[in-house]
Amino acid sequence: MKQSLIIALDFPDVIQTERFLSQFPSEKLALKVGMELFYQNGPSIISSIKERGHDVFLDLKLHDIPNTVKMAMAGLATLGADMVNVHAAGGQKMMEAAMEGLDKGTPAGKERPLCIAVTQLTSTSEEQMNKEQNISGSLTDSVLHYAKLTQQAGLDGVVCSTHEVKDIHHRIGRKFLTVTPGIRSAGGNVHDQTRIATPEQARSFGADAIVVGRAITASKDPLKAYLDMKAAWEGISC
Ligand code: C5P
Protein backbone atom coordinates (compact mmCIF):
# COMPACT_ATOMS: atom_id res chain seq x y z
CA MET A 1 0.00 0.00 0.00
CA LYS A 2 3.08 2.21 0.05
CA GLN A 3 3.03 5.13 -2.40
CA SER A 4 -0.62 4.40 -3.15
CA LEU A 5 -3.55 6.64 -3.83
CA ILE A 6 -6.14 4.88 -1.69
CA ILE A 7 -9.78 5.46 -2.63
CA ALA A 8 -12.13 5.61 0.38
CA LEU A 9 -15.13 3.41 -0.49
CA ASP A 10 -17.55 5.30 1.74
CA PHE A 11 -20.68 3.64 0.36
CA PRO A 12 -23.53 2.07 2.32
CA ASP A 13 -23.88 -1.16 0.35
CA VAL A 14 -22.35 -3.66 -2.06
CA ILE A 15 -24.52 -2.55 -5.00
CA GLN A 16 -23.20 1.02 -4.91
CA THR A 17 -19.68 -0.28 -4.32
CA GLU A 18 -19.90 -2.63 -7.33
CA ARG A 19 -21.38 0.15 -9.48
CA PHE A 20 -18.48 2.41 -8.52
CA LEU A 21 -15.81 -0.26 -9.12
CA SER A 22 -17.25 -1.19 -12.51
CA GLN A 23 -16.04 2.22 -13.73
CA PHE A 24 -12.43 1.06 -13.23
CA PRO A 25 -12.33 -2.08 -15.40
CA SER A 26 -8.58 -2.17 -15.99
CA GLU A 27 -7.10 -0.45 -12.93
CA LYS A 28 -5.51 -2.24 -9.99
CA LEU A 29 -6.71 -0.07 -7.13
CA ALA A 30 -5.90 0.50 -3.48
CA LEU A 31 -9.25 0.74 -1.68
CA LYS A 32 -10.23 1.74 1.83
CA VAL A 33 -13.16 -0.05 3.43
CA GLY A 34 -14.42 1.93 6.40
CA MET A 35 -17.06 1.53 9.06
CA GLU A 36 -19.96 2.44 6.77
CA LEU A 37 -19.40 -0.39 4.30
CA PHE A 38 -17.98 -2.98 6.71
CA TYR A 39 -20.62 -2.65 9.43
CA GLN A 40 -23.49 -2.92 6.96
CA ASN A 41 -22.09 -5.66 4.76
CA GLY A 42 -19.71 -7.71 6.89
CA PRO A 43 -16.37 -9.36 6.27
CA SER A 44 -17.28 -10.80 2.83
CA ILE A 45 -16.80 -7.33 1.33
CA ILE A 46 -13.05 -7.72 1.91
CA SER A 47 -12.73 -11.05 0.10
CA SER A 48 -14.88 -9.86 -2.81
CA ILE A 49 -12.61 -6.81 -3.30
CA LYS A 50 -9.46 -8.91 -2.94
CA GLU A 51 -10.80 -11.38 -5.54
CA ARG A 52 -10.89 -8.48 -8.02
CA GLY A 53 -7.14 -8.05 -7.45
CA HIS A 54 -7.27 -4.79 -5.47
CA ASP A 55 -5.38 -3.92 -2.26
CA VAL A 56 -7.49 -3.23 0.84
CA PHE A 57 -6.99 -0.88 3.78
CA LEU A 58 -9.56 -1.90 6.40
CA ASP A 59 -10.16 1.35 8.29
CA LEU A 60 -12.09 0.39 11.45
CA LYS A 61 -10.00 2.52 13.86
CA LEU A 62 -10.11 0.09 16.79
CA HIS A 63 -10.12 1.72 20.25
CA ASP A 64 -10.95 -0.47 23.26
CA ILE A 65 -9.25 -2.27 26.15
CA PRO A 66 -6.10 -4.15 25.09
CA ASN A 67 -7.55 -7.66 25.29
CA THR A 68 -10.60 -6.77 23.19
CA VAL A 69 -8.46 -5.12 20.54
CA LYS A 70 -6.08 -8.09 20.51
CA MET A 71 -8.88 -10.60 19.93
CA ALA A 72 -10.59 -8.37 17.36
CA MET A 73 -7.31 -7.99 15.45
CA ALA A 74 -6.74 -11.75 15.52
CA GLY A 75 -10.07 -12.07 13.71
CA LEU A 76 -9.41 -9.24 11.26
CA ALA A 77 -6.02 -10.76 10.36
CA THR A 78 -7.81 -13.72 8.78
CA LEU A 79 -9.73 -11.54 6.29
CA GLY A 80 -6.87 -10.81 3.92
CA ALA A 81 -6.73 -7.00 4.26
CA ASP A 82 -3.33 -5.43 3.49
CA MET A 83 -3.56 -2.74 6.17
CA VAL A 84 -5.64 -2.15 9.34
CA ASN A 85 -5.65 0.56 12.01
CA VAL A 86 -6.32 1.61 15.60
CA HIS A 87 -6.63 4.92 17.47
CA ALA A 88 -3.31 5.88 19.10
CA ALA A 89 -5.40 7.42 21.91
CA GLY A 90 -6.05 3.85 23.08
CA GLY A 91 -2.49 3.86 24.42
CA GLN A 92 0.75 1.92 23.99
CA LYS A 93 -0.51 -1.29 25.67
CA MET A 94 -3.57 -1.34 23.42
CA MET A 95 -1.43 -0.87 20.31
CA GLU A 96 0.98 -3.62 21.40
CA ALA A 97 -2.02 -5.88 21.94
CA ALA A 98 -3.24 -5.06 18.43
CA MET A 99 0.10 -6.23 17.01
CA GLU A 100 -0.02 -9.42 19.10
CA GLY A 101 -3.49 -10.14 17.79
CA LEU A 102 -2.41 -9.58 14.19
CA ASP A 103 0.61 -11.85 14.58
CA LYS A 104 -1.58 -14.51 16.18
CA GLY A 105 -4.33 -14.32 13.56
CA THR A 106 -2.31 -14.03 10.35
CA PRO A 107 -2.61 -17.39 8.53
CA ALA A 108 0.63 -19.34 8.07
CA GLY A 109 2.45 -18.34 4.90
CA LYS A 110 0.64 -14.99 4.66
CA GLU A 111 2.05 -11.57 5.47
CA ARG A 112 0.79 -9.74 8.54
CA PRO A 113 -1.30 -6.73 7.49
CA LEU A 114 0.41 -3.39 8.03
CA CYS A 115 -0.93 -1.70 11.15
CA ILE A 116 -1.09 2.06 11.54
CA ALA A 117 -2.59 4.36 14.18
CA VAL A 118 -4.84 7.38 13.83
CA THR A 119 -3.21 10.34 15.60
CA GLN A 120 -5.70 13.23 15.44
CA LEU A 121 -8.49 12.96 12.88
CA THR A 122 -8.06 15.30 9.92
CA SER A 123 -11.54 16.67 10.73
CA THR A 124 -10.28 17.86 14.15
CA SER A 125 -9.14 21.47 14.53
CA GLU A 126 -6.70 22.66 17.17
CA GLU A 127 -9.46 24.63 18.91
CA GLN A 128 -11.66 21.53 19.07
CA MET A 129 -8.78 19.42 20.42
CA ASN A 130 -8.03 22.03 23.14
CA LYS A 131 -11.66 22.45 24.19
CA GLU A 132 -13.28 19.06 23.64
CA GLN A 133 -10.41 16.65 24.27
CA ASN A 134 -8.91 18.95 26.94
CA ILE A 135 -5.47 18.54 25.34
CA SER A 136 -3.52 21.80 25.59
CA GLY A 137 -0.82 22.86 23.14
CA SER A 138 -0.69 22.57 19.40
CA LEU A 139 -2.24 19.95 17.20
CA THR A 140 1.17 19.21 15.71
CA ASP A 141 2.58 18.44 19.17
CA SER A 142 -0.30 16.07 19.87
CA VAL A 143 0.16 14.31 16.52
CA LEU A 144 3.91 13.98 17.09
CA HIS A 145 3.33 12.64 20.60
CA TYR A 146 0.92 10.00 19.30
CA ALA A 147 3.28 9.13 16.42
CA LYS A 148 6.13 8.52 18.87
CA LEU A 149 3.87 6.35 21.05
CA THR A 150 2.82 4.41 17.95
CA GLN A 151 6.44 3.76 17.01
CA GLN A 152 7.25 2.62 20.57
CA ALA A 153 4.38 0.13 20.33
CA GLY A 154 5.95 -1.35 17.18
CA LEU A 155 3.35 -0.30 14.60
CA ASP A 156 4.22 0.48 10.99
CA GLY A 157 3.07 4.10 10.84
CA VAL A 158 0.30 6.60 11.40
CA VAL A 159 -2.68 8.29 9.81
CA CYS A 160 -2.07 12.04 9.97
CA SER A 161 -2.60 15.17 7.92
CA THR A 162 -0.08 16.08 5.24
CA HIS A 163 0.99 19.04 7.38
CA GLU A 164 2.57 16.77 10.00
CA VAL A 165 4.38 14.41 7.62
CA LYS A 166 7.73 16.24 7.51
CA ASP A 167 8.00 16.52 11.31
CA ILE A 168 7.07 12.86 11.78
CA HIS A 169 9.64 11.65 9.25
CA HIS A 170 12.24 13.98 10.74
CA ARG A 171 11.67 12.80 14.33
CA ILE A 172 10.86 9.14 13.76
CA GLY A 173 12.49 8.21 10.47
CA ARG A 174 11.68 7.92 6.81
CA LYS A 175 10.56 4.28 7.04
CA PHE A 176 7.68 5.07 9.41
CA LEU A 177 4.59 5.25 7.18
CA THR A 178 2.47 8.40 6.96
CA VAL A 179 -0.96 7.84 5.42
CA THR A 180 -2.77 11.11 4.79
CA PRO A 181 -6.49 11.75 4.29
CA GLY A 182 -7.98 15.23 3.84
CA ILE A 183 -6.90 15.39 0.19
CA ARG A 184 -8.62 17.79 -2.18
CA SER A 185 -7.78 19.13 -5.62
CA ALA A 186 -7.09 22.88 -5.61
CA GLY A 187 -10.39 24.73 -5.02
CA GLY A 188 -12.30 21.47 -4.41
CA ASN A 189 -15.14 21.14 -1.86
CA VAL A 190 -13.59 20.81 1.64
CA HIS A 191 -16.69 19.11 3.21
CA ASP A 192 -16.10 18.34 6.93
CA GLN A 193 -12.28 18.20 6.75
CA THR A 194 -10.15 20.97 8.27
CA ARG A 195 -6.50 19.99 7.65
CA ILE A 196 -6.50 19.52 3.89
CA ALA A 197 -3.91 19.50 1.09
CA THR A 198 -3.67 18.81 -2.62
CA PRO A 199 -2.04 15.58 -3.90
CA GLU A 200 0.93 17.66 -5.12
CA GLN A 201 1.41 19.11 -1.62
CA ALA A 202 1.12 15.63 -0.08
CA ARG A 203 3.86 14.39 -2.41
CA SER A 204 6.11 17.37 -1.74
CA PHE A 205 5.72 16.88 2.04
CA GLY A 206 6.78 13.22 1.61
CA ALA A 207 3.49 11.44 2.46
CA ASP A 208 3.72 7.67 1.90
CA ALA A 209 0.10 7.23 0.78
CA ILE A 210 -2.91 9.48 0.32
CA VAL A 211 -6.55 8.65 1.04
CA VAL A 212 -9.10 10.26 -1.27
CA GLY A 213 -12.83 9.86 -0.78
CA ARG A 214 -15.45 12.30 -1.98
CA ALA A 215 -13.16 14.10 -4.45
CA ILE A 216 -13.37 10.85 -6.47
CA THR A 217 -16.48 9.02 -5.25
CA ALA A 218 -18.79 12.06 -5.50
CA SER A 219 -17.36 13.19 -8.84
CA LYS A 220 -19.51 13.07 -11.99
CA ASP A 221 -16.64 11.21 -13.68
CA PRO A 222 -14.87 9.14 -10.99
CA LEU A 223 -12.39 7.52 -13.40
CA LYS A 224 -11.22 10.91 -14.69
CA ALA A 225 -11.10 12.33 -11.15
CA TYR A 226 -9.02 9.31 -10.08
CA LEU A 227 -6.61 9.51 -13.02
CA ASP A 228 -6.15 13.28 -12.54
CA MET A 229 -5.53 12.89 -8.80
CA LYS A 230 -3.17 9.96 -9.39
CA ALA A 231 -1.16 11.90 -11.98
CA ALA A 232 -0.89 14.84 -9.57
CA TRP A 233 0.15 12.50 -6.73
CA GLU A 234 2.75 10.77 -8.89
CA GLY A 235 4.02 14.08 -10.28
CA ILE A 236 3.01 13.35 -13.85
CA SER A 237 1.63 16.33 -15.77
CA CYS A 238 -1.41 15.49 -17.92
O1 C5P B 1 -14.20 12.16 1.49
P2 C5P B 1 -12.88 12.33 2.17
O3 C5P B 1 -11.70 12.38 1.20
O4 C5P B 1 -12.86 13.48 3.15
O5 C5P B 1 -12.70 10.98 2.99
C6 C5P B 1 -11.63 10.75 3.87
C7 C5P B 1 -11.67 9.35 4.37
O8 C5P B 1 -10.55 9.15 5.24
C9 C5P B 1 -12.91 8.97 5.17
O10 C5P B 1 -13.22 7.63 4.87
C11 C5P B 1 -12.48 9.11 6.62
O12 C5P B 1 -13.13 8.20 7.47
C13 C5P B 1 -10.98 8.77 6.54
N14 C5P B 1 -10.14 9.37 7.58
C15 C5P B 1 -10.01 10.74 7.76
N16 C5P B 1 -9.19 11.24 8.72
C17 C5P B 1 -8.48 10.42 9.51
C18 C5P B 1 -8.61 9.04 9.35
C19 C5P B 1 -9.44 8.54 8.36
O20 C5P B 1 -10.63 11.50 7.01
N21 C5P B 1 -7.63 10.91 10.40
pLDDT in tens, 19-49: 999 999 999 999 999 999 999 999 999 999 9
Active site residue 2: no
What is the C-alpha to C-alpha distance for residues 58 and 158, in angstroms, rounded to an integer? 14
31 Cα: distance to centroid of ligand 1 (angstroms): 12
| pLDDT band of 189, cuts 50, 70, 90 | confident
Domain boundaries, the chain: 4-234
The CB density around residue 218, as the number of other CB atoms within 10 Å, is 12
Pick the CATH number of 4-234 from 3.20.20.70, 2.60.40.10, 1.20.1440.230, 3.40.630.30: 3.20.20.70
Nearest CA among 78, 157, 173 for reference residue 114: 157
How wide is the angle at C-alpha 24 spanned by C-alphas 156 and 43, nearest 5°? 50
Residues with CB under 6 A from ligand 1: 8, 10, 34, 59, 118, 121-122, 159, 181-182, 191, 193, 211-215
Report pTM.
Answer: 0.94
Confidence of residue 193 (pLDDT cuts 50, 70, 90): confident
| Nearest protein CA to atom 17 of ligand 1, as residue | 121
Catalytic residue among 55, 64, 141, 167: 64
Cα 8 to Cα 56: distance, rounded to the nearest angstrom: 10
Tell me the three-class secondary structure of 142-164, residue by residue.
Answer: HHHHHHHHHHHCCCCEEECCHHH
